[in-house]
Amino acid sequence: MMSAAKLVETKDLGIHFGGLQAVQGVNFSLNQGELRCLIGPNGAGKTTFFRLLTGVHKPSVGSVTINGTPIKDLQTHQIANLGVGIKTQIPSLFDNLTVRENLWLSARKRNARAEADRIADEALETIRLAHAAKSEVAKLAHGQRQWVELGVVIAGHPKLILLDEPAAGMTGHERERTAELIRDINRTCAMIVVEHDMEFIKMIAKTVTVFNRGEVLMEDAVDKVLSDQRVKDVYLGKQTGGVTL
């Protein structure tokens, strides 16, 4: 019997920008439903790796398959249709619409109106902002905005969510809520989470992949990774400022 395909599989994945090897030789795989954290110093290639998974960048070498489908010749919207959702740090919300309207518009892209209503309400519950359904997004606090961004991704019903620094700029309390939210969402959806905040990583991580200079430095259980001398060295060498392991 054939075993189920990995949700994500990359083979010898690499991309260079001119002479700069931003990602190289990456053999990465993610199981269905898995939650993986990705860490590494500034410029390690984490965001570039996400852009290779979503098709924003095409690899210089190697390949990416999503659920067994090679994405080489697919456009970004076709890759999204395979079930890949991403939340970047670039704001994507409609500021003068309400929280629920933003979620509804996202759900409506692939669903009839009644179904979009249901999905929007479900997403509101998931991000725990039902009480703010009618608030204009422009009036929200930073943390709440980020949760709405996450809700917009969830409303697309992805199989995989990529989160690039979801806790950036958040207060301690907001970070804790975000960690809870990620654990909740992971019950039905695989995720790859990039974060610099190691306290946050400890709240959510099981397996952690460490990038350095475009390559995978190590991949192991969170406690092993955070106590590994090589990992400490690459962070110290980069003076990331404020990152403590």
Ligand X SMILES: Nc1ncnc2c1ncn2[C@@H]1O[C@H](COP(=O)(O)OP(=O)(O)OP(=O)(O)O)[C@@H](O)[C@H]1O
- In the list Mg ion, ligand X, none, the entry touching 100 (Cβ below 5 to 8 angstroms by class) is none
At a CB cut-off of 8 Å and minimum separation 6, what does 61 contact?
12, 13, 14, 15
Whole-number minimum distance, CB 22 to ligand X, in Å?
3
Does 47 engage in binding with Mg ion (CB under 5 A)?
Answer: yes
Does 234 engage in binding with ligand X (CB under 6 A)?
Answer: no
Give the SS3 label for residue 137.
helix
Tell me which H or E stretch contains 11. strand 8-17
Would you give the binding string for ligand X spanning residues 1-20, x where CB under 6 A is met? ----------------x--x
Whole-number minimum distance, CB 88 to Mg ion, in Å?
9
- The residue among 109, 108, 44, 112 whose CA lies nearest residue 77 is 109
Whole-number minimum distance, CB 42 to Mg ion, in Å?
8
Residue with smallest beta-carbon separation from Mg ion? 47
**Distance separating alpha carbons of residues 127 and 27, to the nearest angstrom:** 33
Would you give the binding string for ligand X spanning residues 26-65, x where CB under 6 A is met? --------------x-xxxxxxx-----------------
- In the list Mg ion, ligand X, none, the entry touching 22 (Cβ below 5 to 8 angstroms by class) is ligand X
Whole-number minimum distance, CB 166 to ligand X, in Å?
13
Q: What are phi and psi of 193, to 5 degrees?
A: -120, 120
Does 22 engage in binding with ligand X (CB under 6 A)?
Answer: yes
Signed CA dihedral, 20, 90, 180, 186: sign only: negative
At a CB cut-off of 8 Å and minimum separation 6, what does 218 contact?
209, 210, 225, 228, 230, 231
Nearer to Mg ion, 15 or 155 (CB): 15
Q: What are phi and psi of 192, to 5 degrees?
A: -120, 125
Whole-number minimum distance, CB 216 to ligand X, in Å?
12
Site residues, Mg ion (CB under 5 A): 46-47
Site residues, ligand X (CB under 6 A): 17, 20, 22, 40, 42-48
